[in-house]
Amino acid sequence: MTGRRQARKLQRANRDAQPHCRRKREEIRSSCGKTQDFKMTERVNNFPPLPKFLRIKPCFYQKIDEEIPAQYQQLVHRVFTLWIMYSGTLFLNVISCIAWWAGGGGATNFGFSLLWLILFSPCSYTCWFRPLYKAFRADSSFNFMAFFFIFFLQCVLALIQTLGISGWGTCGWIATVMFFSTNVGSAIVMLITALLFTLVTLLMVLVLIKVHRLYRGGGGSLERAQEEWSTGLWKNAPVREAGLNAVAHTAQGPSLPEYPASVPSYPDNSNW
């Protein structure tokens, strides 16, 4: 009899505890769901902006107004606009090469112009805009040096494209001026692209000078970049990103990155 009573008591206790356990499980599931939602929405890649129905997803997270210090946001915005201008010029160069081809030029220029658009448009974003973005975001000397080296080569390439050597797939000045004697209509279309290449090249040189002055004025040097390389600091998420990816995945809502006090104040000596 005693055993039966104890069994009944255990059954009643289990029945009474079941609603409480269910509530606990629901609370835990709800809190886990919030945390997962927070993790999913905290830093979702948003660039390049692609339609949601595509299986290809954005590769980069870019929010200049959040990740870049306020005094450098305008410069980074302008460099981003410069990248858009360069990509647009490469697109117009394809159209100009079609006009060049239609006016009696070779098909080789059209083929190369299409290759330059497909190759240089994404590569210029990843190879020199992203290093500049990360350099200002985290005061990374290594990324500054990467930007200076690659962007200098970009300036040289833009200058070659502005010259417009025939057979290289760019409607620059040499190809345009020489084609005026063959087909004036096509040459006028090519002239627009030559002017855009000239403008983009000049702006790139100004950006290179501007960023170099900011970096040197803030105490940046090759030694700092070498130190980051030797210590492996360039591989790690910078201090500013720690504020975003901190283990504060506690459903308290996203927080903006906290910029470290060690970041130098780069002097702004021009109004570019």
Instruction: Give tens-digit pLDDT for 159-172.
Output: 999 999 988 999 99
Instruction: Give domain status of residue 18, yes or no.
Output: no
Q: Is a pLDDT exceeding 50 seen at residue 16?
A: yes
Instruction: Give domain status of residue 262, yes or no.
Output: no
Q: Is a pLDDT exceeding 90 seen at residue 200?
A: yes
Mean pLDDT of 32-48: 59
Q: In this predicted structure, what is the pLDDT of residue 256?
A: 38
User: Residue 55: phi, psi to the nearest 5?
Assistant: -75, -25
Q: Is a pLDDT exceeding 70 seen at residue 137?
A: yes
Q: Is a pLDDT exceeding 90 seen at residue 91?
A: yes
Confidence of residue 24 (pLDDT cuts 50, 70, 90): low
Among 10-24, 37-51, 197-211, whose mean pLDDT is lowest? 10-24
Q: Which two tokens stand for residue 174?
A: 């040499």
Q: Is a pLDDT exceeding 60 seen at residue 47?
A: yes
Instruction: Give domain status of residue 223, yes or no.
Output: yes
Q: The domain containing residue 158 runs over which residues? A: 72-240
Query: Burial, 28: exposed, middle or buried (Cβ in 10 Å; 0-12, 13-18, 19+)?
Result: exposed
Instruction: Give domain status of residue 259, yes or no.
Output: no
Of 260 and 132, which is predicted with more confidence?
132
Instruction: Give domain status of residue 67, yes or no.
Output: no
Question: Model-level pTM greater than 0.75?
Answer: no
How many percent of the chain have pLDDT more than 90?
50
How many Cβ atoms sit within 10 Å of the Cβ of residue 242? 15
Enter the DSSP assignment of 260.
P
Q: Is a pLDDT exceeding 90 seen at residue 4?
A: no
Q: In this predicted structure, what is the pLDDT of residue 59?
A: 87
Instruction: Give domain status of residue 204, yes or no.
Output: yes
Mean pLDDT of 187-211: 96
Distance CA 144, CA 83 (A): 17
Q: Are 211 and 76 in contact (CB under 8 A)?
A: no
Q: What is the DSSP string of 13-37?
A: HHHHHHHHHHHHHHHHHHHHHHHHH
Confidence of residue 1 (pLDDT cuts 50, 70, 90): low
Instruction: Give domain status of residue 48, yes or no.
Output: no
Highest mean pLDDT among 36-45, 187-196, 225-234, 251-260: 187-196
Instruction: Give domain status of residue 90, yes or no.
Output: yes
Confidence of residue 36 (pLDDT cuts 50, 70, 90): very low
Of 62 and 40, which is predicted with more confidence?
62
| Count of the separate structural domains present in the chain | 1
